[in-house]
């Protein structure tokens, strides 16, 4: 079996980027070990602070964030990092070729119920026209990403990764502390019969989203002429992984709630990396008519509505818009 280091070499990934990806993989093994121990490691519960999003930070959020930040900024090729858990960009190495953004523990509210959680990451070329710790470093559309992926801390720890080519899947071999390639080329089925959305927000959706979901719920008796099933993981990383593995459509639409009127998910370290993985697996990821990867960022922690998954199903949604 091919391991991560060998696949990165086979894919001719530049050595500095390959080392950066290996560092992310190594840190994820520490996070995975703490997740597995849970209460036994004293890492559950709240850290007692709130992040820039106004969300209560879980202990493991802060631990994962600090592990990633410290490991990445020790690499001379990493000029700066941004994180869901950091108000501002943290800059360090002025000559570094890359900048990295991450959601250190996506779905962290699932920690205390032993649910799926993960780490989402994205890598861009550093900008020489702005200060190394400027928010403007990350004011790049998702199309500019050179690498994107996530680690899913589930029954097994897996990493989905693209460095511009196919989206590949690796599985952590715990006693060897290395990731082995288990899916060389993820392909999302164009058709699907599964949707993922938080139905509790239904009253806040646009009429288009209301109508689209009602058609799915009508099943074989309705205009779609087939039954659909629903899943909602409460952690984007788990929902997107299911879509990559067996197709489906994931929606976190805009709604009229004040704090999430533009959707809840963050463009930089949730929507864009997932959009790159989904597109490289033959799926679609959109905000209305526009591809998520073409959105011009306006702020570091900007939120964006997200519709992604099986290409034909995303088109069926867009046809109603």
Binding site residue list: 84, 103, 105-109, 198, 264, 270
Closest by Cα among 190, 194, 188, 118 to 151: 118
- In angstroms, the CA 138 to CA 290 distance is 20
- In angstroms, the CA 270 to CA 291 distance is 14
Does residue 219 bind ligand P6P (CB under 6 A)?
no
Which of 156, 177, 198, 229 contacts ligand P6P by CB under 6 A? Answer: 198
Among the listed ranges 105-113, 204-212, 274-282, 283-291, the one in contact with ligand P6P (CB under 6 A) is 105-113
Q: Which of residues 255-314 bind ligand P6P (CB under 6 A)?
A: 264-265
Burial 263-298 (b: 16+ CB within 10 A, else e): bbbbbbbbbbbbbbbbbbbbbbbbbeeeebbebebe
Does residue 141 bind ligand P6P (CB under 6 A)?
no
**Cβ at position 65, least distance to ligand P6P in Å:** 15
Among the listed ranges 42-50, 58-66, 175-183, 231-239, the one in contact with ligand P6P (CB under 6 A) is 231-239
**Cβ at position 273, least distance to ligand P6P in Å:** 12
Q: Which residues are annotated as a binding site for Mg(2+)?
A: 84, 103, 105-106, 270
Toward ligand P6P, which CB reaches closer, 91 or 118?
118
Among the listed ranges 43-51, 60-68, 164-172, 229-237, the one in contact with ligand P6P (CB under 6 A) is 229-237
Residue 119 sits at φ, ψ, to 5 deg, of: -115, 130
Does residue 127 bind ligand P6P (CB under 6 A)?
no
**Cβ at position 237, least distance to ligand P6P in Å:** 6
Burial 5-28 (b: 16+ CB within 10 A, else e): eebbeeeebeeebbbbbebbbebb
Return the residue matching tokens 């969300």: 55
Among the listed ranges 42-50, 174-182, 187-195, 230-238, the one in contact with ligand P6P (CB under 6 A) is 230-238
Among the listed ranges 121-129, 133-141, 234-242, 293-301, the one in contact with ligand P6P (CB under 6 A) is 234-242
Which of 60, 123, 236, 314 contacts ligand P6P by CB under 6 A? Answer: 236
For residue 16 the two structure tokens come to: 């500095």
End-to-end CA distance of the chain: give it in Å, rounded: 45
Alpha helices in the chain (DSSP H): 4-10, 15-37, 59-73, 207-218, 236-246, 272-280, 311-320
The residue ranges that bind ligand P6P (CB under 6 A) are 106-107, 109, 198, 234-236, 264-265
């Amino acid at each position: 079996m091919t391991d991560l280091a060998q696949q990165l070499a086979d894919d001719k990934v530049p050595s500095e980027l390959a080392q950066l990806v290996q560092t992310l993989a190594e840190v994820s093994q520490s996070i995975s070990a703490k997740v597995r121990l849970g209460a036994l490691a004293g890492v559950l519960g709240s850290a007692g602070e709130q992040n820039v999003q106004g969300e209560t930070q879980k202990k493991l959020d802060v631990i994962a964030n600090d592990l990633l930040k410290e490991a990445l900024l020790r690499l001379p090729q990493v000029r700066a990092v941004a994180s869901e858990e950091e108000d501002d960009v943290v800059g360090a190495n002025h000559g570094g070729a890359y900048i990295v953004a991450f959601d250190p523990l996506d779905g962290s509210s699932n920690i205390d119920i032993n649910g799926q959680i993960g780490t989402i990451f994205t890598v861009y070329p550093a900008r020489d026209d702005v200060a190394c710790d400027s928010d403007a470093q990350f004011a790049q559309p998702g199309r500019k990403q050179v690498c994107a992926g996530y680690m899913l801390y589930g029954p097994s720890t897996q990493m989905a990764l693209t460095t511009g080519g196919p989206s590949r899947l690796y599985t952590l071999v715990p006693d060897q502390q290395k990731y082995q390639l288990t899916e060389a080329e993820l392909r999302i089925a164009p058709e699907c019969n599964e949707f993922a959305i938080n139905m509790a927000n239904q009253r806040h959706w646009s009429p288009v989203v209301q109508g689209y979901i009602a058609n799915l719920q009508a099943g074989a008796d309705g205009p779609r002429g087939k039954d659909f099933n629903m899943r909602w993981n409460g952690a984007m990383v788990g929902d997107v992984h299911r879509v990559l593995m067996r197709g489906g459509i994931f929606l976190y639409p805009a709604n009229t709630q004040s704090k999430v009127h533009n959707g809840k998910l963050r463009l930089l370290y949730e929507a864009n990396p997932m959009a790159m993985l989904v597109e490289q697996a033959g799926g679609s990821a959109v905000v209305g008519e526009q591809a998520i990867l073409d959105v011009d960022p306006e702020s570091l922690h900007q939120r964006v509505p997200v519709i992604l998954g099986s290409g034909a199903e995303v088109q069926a949604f867009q046809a109603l818009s």
